[in-house]
Amino acid sequence: MLPIYMDHNATTPVDPRVVKAMEPFLNAQFGNASSSSHAYGWQAQAAVKKAREQVAAFVGCTPAQVIWTSGATESNNLAILGVARALRREKPHFITQVTEHKAVLEVCEAATEWDATVTVLDVDTQGFVRLEDLKRAITPRTVLCSIMMANNEIGTLQPMREIADICRTHKIILHSDSAQSAGKCNFDLKTLPIDMISLSGHKIYAPKGVGVLIVRPINREFELKPILFGGDQEHSLRPGTLNVPGIVGMGEACALAMSEMTEECTRMCTFQKQILLAVQTHFPQIKLNGPQKSRLCNNISLSIPELVPDELALDFSGVAYSSGSACNSSNPKPSHVLKAIGLSDTLARATIRLGLGRFTSPEEVQTVTSKLLKMLGKLYRSTTVAQNF
């Protein structure tokens, strides 16, 4: 029997309604969206057009601003390196934060090969960027700021409105890796002035291998440059045959998220509070990483003093979750995010992340809560808790 899935911040299952929307484009309607001389291509073009409109409606942009990619990692590369290439002669300065996903941090490092310089901002103990630090980091050569909307490990929701206002004042391009916040945070680009955002299908119940970069009109004279070559698809920014089934899936996933997000977030927030209340009532020594409020509705990151990581798999068996190690599970180093908010190596390794999802049931939440309390009761020799749960 498979374990209870509690790792939705890592990936989500494909919603059956998304699968249904994709199915025709996996067999009968298999055309290439670049083929304009026959019905197979026209069907594919129409499907891509509809999906583009669904994504645009979801985030509050125009369809023309939706650029298809293979996922948020590629979108981040295109956004950051595309600016670096476009403004290379200016020796551009970029700003990001230490708790970004490696798909931003390593891309910013790569941008130095195009003569960019990079400032990496520290965060406070809850993972928030200090706005005064951001202001102080700005120089006359600052052209890009890349700040994720929601942290994938500790759930921190950054103050994007204030960050956007600072960037707009200084005519700085603002990019945000929004893979985690999509479908969980209610943002509208018609009123929130973020210039570029990266989205990933597999975080919102669409398939892996499809994503989006939203590129909006920017208050700076420059033209984003491609980083891949070999075709004129996607305004010549992202060449290659479009992944029509994946694109259809992402469009449908965005439409579902748009219609169901409020109810879904309320339900996940209830589950989140239920688990946290049980843990914090019985074991106040357990540390919640990230803020109590202003966090993702589905994310729980707990650091457990005295926990031996090797024993966790046995004591918490039957649950699929993430540990406090780096994003690459083969990397023995503790998470750079947990280190950035002040955790020791030992406590960072003694951390678990639970990610609730659309199909998480009340019964699963109760089972996971019981398993967690039993494990903690055993660890801290609290026989009463261990027996009652």
How far are the Cα atoms of 122, 283, 339, 383 from residue 125, in angstroms, in the given order?
10, 21, 10, 33
What residue type is 361 in one-letter code?
S
* 271: helix, strand or coil: helix
DSSP string of 9-35? TT--PPPHHHHHHHGGGGTTT---TT-
Measured in degrees and rounded to the nearest 5, phi and psi for residue 334 equal: -65, 160
Q: How far is the C-alpha of 3 from the C-alpha of 53, rounded, in Å?
A: 37
Q: How far is the C-alpha of 216 from the C-alpha of 218, rounded, in Å?
A: 6
Q: Is residue 14 packed enough to be buried (19+ CB in 10 Å), middle (13-18) or exposed (0-12)? A: middle
User: For the chain, how many helices (H) and strands (E)?
Assistant: 12, 13
Judged by phi (left if over 0) then psi (alpha if -120 to 50, else beta), residue 146 lies in beta
Q: Residue 254 catalytic? A: no
What residue type is 16 in one-letter code?
P
Q: How far is the C-alpha of 276 from the C-alpha of 297, rounded, in Å?
A: 12
Give the list of residues 6+ apart from residue 116 with CB closer than 8 angstroms, or none: 84, 88, 91, 92, 93, 94, 108
Give the list of residues 6+ apart from residue 379 with CB closer than 8 angstroms, or none: 304, 306, 307, 315
Q: Is residue 267 packed enough to be buried (19+ CB in 10 Å), middle (13-18) or exposed (0-12)? A: middle
DSSP string of 51-101? HHHHHHHHHTS-GGGEEEESSHHHHHHHHHHHHHHHTGGG--EEEEETTS-
Give 291's Cβ-side CA count (13 Å radius).
16
Say how many C-beta atoms besides its own lie within 10 A of residue 89's C-beta.
7
Pick the closest to residue 19 from 245, 176, 289 (CA basis). 245
Residues forming the active site: 327
